[in-house]
Every structure is written in structure tokens, then in C-alpha cells.
A and B are shown apart, each in its own frame.
Chain A
């Protein structure tokens, strides 16, 4: 039912202006409002915090369906659910959950996760943003970049260095109100894909953050980031899966309609074999996503499975969308046929929330233990 609800929403509402929003980088304000009302923005959060109480498998199904049509919208859902809400729900105090988690789960407020910096992406231990311990507050200074929901979010989760001598054990995680004095949001990044989602740099200049806004103990920030990204990976894997399966479905349909050399192109073996390979890759990606989701739902360790799922799904998303454009021929190169957008969107899944190379590090470390 959740998959159907997500699919209905994507096919009845998102499809109509997805190309326009992508072309002109317009934020999907009305759609996000509707998704908030339907409960998608907090679907993983426990109902006692006003969330949907759904399991990770349902989340994967919903993310796939929405990503088939609009991965900008699905990344907003993923960041809000997997990174921000999950982080607060798993590690926050009851007061923090009451104040921050509930409005996020209801979708009344949007959250953002601020880890990346101009000089620190994959190497998250090299935090240059500082959160100086001033007794009963932290003083936040620095710059974060590539922040999804950078301007639409009201609640930021910010990772910053408090004790440089302790290296990554001196990193903290803070809940910050976007409207705090000293915060400035940079211009909207003009991206290759997922252009309807707003991505900004965020600058902190002597921003005061009350001590009670720290999540977890002093120095927990790096562990928080790593643990939260493990779950976020499942959302992005599902997104990549959706991008791939959306492109594949379009290519399949096109191949049954387009004729060359007297027959539908699906009857040419080169095209049929491309489609077969796409189908196998998608099936594999789906199985990896489902396994990671199932492990998380069973409270079993899932970091390894989620790394495999994210790595594989992102890689095949790039391959499948490229082939989908190829199958469409000239039509695949124009916006009207959607597949070129899916191909541009796929590229980001190989980069964000842990590059494919970082996933390879995680996987190889695990297998070489």
C-alpha cells in the first residue's frame, strides 16, 4: 500500500512539472507540503514522535517509486528521514525529540545534515568547522558546503570540531536553528542533476548554540555521523534503484514502440540484450537494498550491507540510465523523454552520502578483517 501511495503520488502529481522544475531549478514547494501531509517526510519515525512508524522495507519501496520520476523530491525525503530524523530519534534526548524531531516528522520543518566542507568531503575526520566549548554554549564558526535542503531547512544537524587535539574523537554534533544570528546561506548551486533540490553552502560566524543542543556525549559527533550515514545509504541506494528502474521502464516501453529496419527495436538482439542486462542489474540492486533494509529492521548490523547496496545501486544506475538514453537514440538526448534527466541524476548517487570509492573502502575493510 505504501508503494502504491508513493507511485500514485509520483505519477499523478510529480510527473507534471518535473521537467520544468529540473530545467529551471525550481524547488518543489507544493509537492513537499503534500508529502508532509501524507506523512512521507517522517515515515520512519515512531508514531509517538508524530512519525509514520514505517519499516525500512516500506521506505525503500516508497523511495524507489518516487525516484523513478523525481529524485530531487526523493533526496529531500531521504535526508529528512534517514539522516536528520533518524539521527535525532536514535541519539537525541527526550527534550531534543520533543522540540526538534516532532516538527520534522510532521514535515512542518525540513532538516539538513551539515558534514561536508570545502576542504573535507570524503575525509570527514578533517573538520575545519569549529564548535568552541564556552561553558553553557558552543560558538560555531566555519563553512559547510553541498548541503541538500540548505535553504529550505529550518533545523540543521551540524558536525564540528570542539577538541582538535582529540582528532575525530573531539568532534561534536549540534542541533542548530537556521535562523540563528551569524548564519548565512550561500547561493543555490547550479548542479548537473537533481536540480529541483536546493543545494547551498552554509557559513557560520560566531553562531551561539546552547549546550543542550549537543546530540550525545562530548566527542560523539564523528560516530554519530558515521552511524547516521549507514542508514542514509539505504535511502540513497533505493533512490539509485528507482532512477535505474525508472529509466529501464521507459527504455522498455520505447523499444516496443520504435521501429527500425521494419520491426520494433526490441526485436533487434542488440537492444534486447541491453534490456536484459539492465533487468539483471536492477534485480541485483533491488535485492541488495532489500537485504540491507531487512537487516536494519531486524536490528542486526547493516553497515556492510548498506555500503554494498549503495555502491552497487549507484554504479548500475549510471550504467542503466546511459543505456536507456542510448536505446532512445536521438529522443533520449532531449528533455522531453525524461531519460537524459535520469542519467544526470544518476551521477550524483555515485558521489554523495559516501562516494563509491568510500563504499569500496568500507567493503574492503570489512572483508579483509
Chain B
């Protein structure tokens, strides 16, 4: 079986985000880039399945949409155990263009499962997985928190309101995964780092595509206003404030 893991290159979660002077972009100077944490969990699960005995998964491919500056992130994915990588050479503009690029690149690839993290830690759009499935014409299951494979059988669990749902799927599909799919992301070993340099990284030219959306500007949220403290035994005052000032009752 072959698993393809879609990964997104995102700023490190501890980055202090600064806006450019005109407020239309993010100042990327000095930003450290990492694999999107949800995609990293997806990749971790794919590698666990790859290493399971008896072998069911024989190839794990990572794919991303991005410029050459995303290659270190792909190499890290190779260093933790992915077999090969594909980079679609275009900036990741919006969810639709990313999903479209992925669909174009994957349309002629053989695969059994595509894993996507449920959202990315930069834009939190949570849209690429679903869009990709529609563009490829294959089923998708979202909020997957458990995936196991054995020869001839597969078990998927997804989170729903109030509990979990077990799903059976046949044929190629996309699992949009979230926390719980794996727990401990891999740290690359020395051997992994050495072999990552020579594992295949295919660069695919992007097809010309217009993004659906464009960003007109960014702004910081309004500063928090101060808190008005009401003593616990003064219900009348609380009710008055909620009615007259907050106007919620």
C-alpha cells in the first residue's frame, strides 16, 4: 500500500508574528519553518504503519506546495522516514489553489490513502483535505483520530459530537486527521539525516492557476478592555450591568 501525506510548511509555533509596514503581509524575516503539527502527526502515523509487521504499507510519500525554501521541511520528512517527496513549485496561495495543485500532481499517481492534517497552524483554514477529495473525485473522512491497517482490512475512527464513529472505507480515499492519530512526532536519527540527502525529491512545475481568494490586509485584534468586577453578593448590580451596559439580557 502507498500512503501520501500532504504537508504544509508553517512558521514555528513560538514565532512572534509581525506584520509588514503596509499591513498587507506577514514579515517572514527570521521565521523558523516547521512541518505543520497536524501534518506531522499524519506523517508519524503513516511511518508507524510503514514499520508495522507484517508489512502492509510499503511506501510513504510526502507532498507539498511551495517554493525551494520549503525543501528543508521536505528533507526533514525524509529524515524521519518518508521514502520520497514531491514539491509542487508554486507559492501556497489559498486552500483552493493548494488543493488544485495537489489534485493535478496526484491525479496520475498510484496511492491507497492520502492523509491530510485537519488544519494548518498558520491560516487554520481546515479546507484543503475536503477540497482535494472533491477535485480527485474520491471519498474523504474528516476528524479522523484513529487509523489502523492490516492485510485486507482497515479501521477508521472519527470524532463526532458526543462520541466516536467507526467508519469502513474501500478504495482510495482521503483521511483528514487530527490529534489522537499519533502522539509522539519523530526525531530524525543520524542515519535518517544522512539518507534524507539522497532520497528522491521530485519537483513538479505548477500549472497556471488563479487563487480564489486574495488577502487584502491583516490587523491585530483590538486590545482587551478592562474587566469590571462585581461582588458575588450583589446580584442586582450584575443584572443591571448586563441589561443596561452589556445589553445581553
B187 touches which of A9, A52, A53, A54 (Cβ 8 Å): A9
B76 CB within 8 Å of chain A: yes
Given A47-B194, A52-B194, A53-B194, answer yes or no on A1-B76 (Cβ-Cβ < 8 Å): yes
Q: Is the interface of B mostly helix, strand, loop or mixed?
A: helix
Q: Which residues of A contact B76 (CB under 8 A)?
A: 1, 4
Closest partner residue, chain A, to B191 (CB atom): A39
Contact of B196 with A1 in the complex, beta carbons under 8 Å: yes
Q: Which residues of B contact A90 (CB under 8 A)?
A: none
A287 to B190, alpha carbons, bound, how many Å? 24
Contact of A54 with B72 in the complex, beta carbons under 8 Å: no
CB distance from B24 to the nearest CB of A (A): 29
Contact of A53 with B75 in the complex, beta carbons under 8 Å: no
A5 CB within 8 Å of chain B: yes
A37 CB within 8 Å of chain B: yes
Given A1-B79, A1-B196, answer yes or no on A52-B190 (Cβ-Cβ < 8 Å): yes
Contact of B75 with A39 in the complex, beta carbons under 8 Å: no
Most chain A CB inside 10 Å of its own CB: which residue of B79, B187, B189: B187
A2 CB within 8 Å of chain B: yes
Q: Which residues of B contact A39 (CB under 8 A)?
A: 189-191
Q: Is the interface of A mostly helix, strand, loop or mixed?
A: helix
Contact of A5 with B188 in the complex, beta carbons under 8 Å: yes
A9 to B190, alpha carbons, bound, how many Å? 13
Closest partner residue, chain A, to B78 (CB atom): A1
Q: How many residues of B contact A (CB 8 A)?
A: 12
CB distance from A206 to the nearest CB of B (A): 40
A8 CB within 8 Å of chain B: yes
Most chain A CB inside 10 Å of its own CB: which residue of B72, B76, B189: B189
CB distance from A260 to the nearest CB of B (A): 23
Q: Which residues of B contact A54 (CB under 8 A)?
A: 190, 193
Q: Which residues of A contact B190 (CB under 8 A)?
A: 2, 38-40, 42-43, 51-54
A354 to B76, alpha carbons, bound, how many Å? 37
A88 to B68, alpha carbons, bound, how many Å? 41
Q: Which residues of B contact A37 (CB under 8 A)?
A: 189
Contact of A1 with B194 in the complex, beta carbons under 8 Å: no
Closest partner residue, chain A, to B79 (CB atom): A1
A4 to B194, alpha carbons, bound, how many Å? 14
B189 touches which of A12, A38, A53 (Cβ 8 Å): A38
A37 to B193, alpha carbons, bound, how many Å? 13
One digit per residue, 1 when the CB lies within 8 angstroms of any chain A CB and 0 when it does not, for chain B 162-191 equals 000000000000000000000000011111
CB distance from B15 to the nearest CB of A (A): 15
Closest partner residue, chain B, to A42 (CB atom): B190
Contact of A5 with B194 in the complex, beta carbons under 8 Å: no
CB distance from B76 to the nearest CB of A (A): 6
One digit per residue, 1 when the CB lies within 8 angstroms of any chain A CB and 0 when it does not, for chain B 74-104 equals 0110010000000000000000000000000
Contact of A5 with B187 in the complex, beta carbons under 8 Å: yes
Q: Would you list which residues of chain A between 1 and 43 have a CB under 8 Å from chain B? A: 1-2, 4-5, 8-9, 12, 37-40, 42-43
Q: Which residues of B contact A4 (CB under 8 A)?
A: 76
Q: Which residues of A contact B193 (CB under 8 A)?
A: 1-2, 5, 52, 54
Residues of A near any B CB (own CB < 8 A): 1-2, 4-5, 8-9, 12, 37-40, 42-43, 47, 51-54
19 pairs of residues in contact across A and B, judged by CB atoms under 8 Å: A1-B72, A1-B188, A1-B193, A1-B196, A2-B190, A2-B193, A5-B79, A5-B189, A8-B187, A9-B187, A38-B187, A38-B189, A39-B189, A39-B190, A39-B191, A42-B190, A47-B191, A52-B190, A52-B194
6 further A-B pairs in the complex, CB-CB below 8 A; given A1-B193, A38-B190 = A1-B75, A4-B76, A5-B79, A38-B188, A39-B191, A52-B193
Residues of B near any A CB (own CB < 8 A): 72, 75-76, 79, 187-191, 193-194, 196
Among all A-B residue pairs, the 6 with the closest Cβ atoms: A52-B190, A39-B190, A38-B189, A39-B189, A5-B188, A8-B187
